[in-house]
């Protein structure tokens, strides 16, 4: 089986498309979450290899979620994503403990593997 992925985004439409794309490109999408609490619960239960996390989540944002995921026992790697300009977020991404950032529209196996360790 392929790399286990958890998709975290409050837009159900994006989650569905991302799941189809990632599965099509050989990933094993083990779960989806719409907010921080759901993501933490799913990560604890499903032990994904990495989480694709939208920066703008309702309540706590993607950066906060990244920090909280890192505190888990078997912490998944975090790839941040957003439809906003990468240049606006570059600094925050760098300061966070996420592996990197992939724009939503450029999501693909290559771009993800580029940022994953």
Partner 1 sequence: MALAVLGFVAGLVPLVLALATEGGHQRELIAITGPVIGWAFIGTGVYAWARQPDNRLGALMTAVGFSSCLAGLRVSTEPWVFIVGLLFITSQWALLFHMLLAFPRGVVETGFERLLVAAMYFSSVVVHPVMTLFHDTTRQGFPENPLLIGDGTDLSDLTRVRFWFTLGLLVALTVILAQRWSAQRGAPRKALAPVFVSGGLVMALLGVWYAALLAGVGQDVIDGLEDARYVVLATVPFAFLAGLIRTRVAEASAVSQVVARLGDPALRRRGVCHAMDEALRGTSLEIAYRDEDGTYANCAGDRVDIPPADPRRDAVSLEAGGEPVAVLTHDATREDERELVRTVAAAATLALENERLADELRAKVEELSASRARIVESGDATRRRLERDLHDGAQQRLVSLALSLRILSNRLDGNTEAMRELESARTELDHAMDELRELARGIHPSLLSDRGLDAAVESLAHRAPLPVELELSPGDRLPERVESASYFVVSEALTNVAKYARATHASVNVTRDNGRVLVEVSDDGVGGADPGNGTGLRGLLDRVSSLGGSLEVDSRPGSGTTVRAEIPCE
DSSP 74: T
Q: How far is the CB of 75 from partner 1 (least distance, A)?
A: 25
Give dist(CA 73, CA 96) in Å, integer: 19
Give dist(CA 60, CA 47) in Å, integer: 21
Give dist(CA 111, CA 16) in Å, integer: 19
The piece of 9-17, 37-45, 71-79, 94-102 that touches partner 1 (CB under 8 A) is: 9-17
Q: Which of residues 45-74 bind partner 1 (CB under 8 A)?
A: 56
Q: How far is the CB of 28 from partner 1 (least distance, A)?
A: 16
Positions in the binding site for partner 1 (CB under 8 A): 11, 13-14, 17-18, 20-21, 24-25, 56, 83-85, 87-88, 91-92, 104-108
């Amino acid at each position: 089986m392929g790399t286990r992925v958890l998709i975290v985004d409050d837009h159900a439409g994006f989650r569905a498309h991302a799941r189809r794309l990632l599965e099509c490109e050989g990933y094993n999408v083990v779960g989806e979450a719409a907010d921080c609490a759901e993501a933490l619960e799913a990560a604890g239960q499903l032990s994904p290899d990495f989480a694709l996390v939208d920066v703008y989540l309702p309540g706590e944002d993607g950066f906060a979620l990244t920090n909280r995921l890192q505190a888990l026992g078997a912490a998944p790697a975090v790839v941040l994503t957003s439809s906003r300009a990468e240049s606006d977020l570059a600094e925050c991404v760098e300061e966070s403990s996420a592996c990197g950032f992939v724009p939503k529209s450029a999501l693909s196996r290559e771009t993800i593997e580029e940022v994953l360790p």
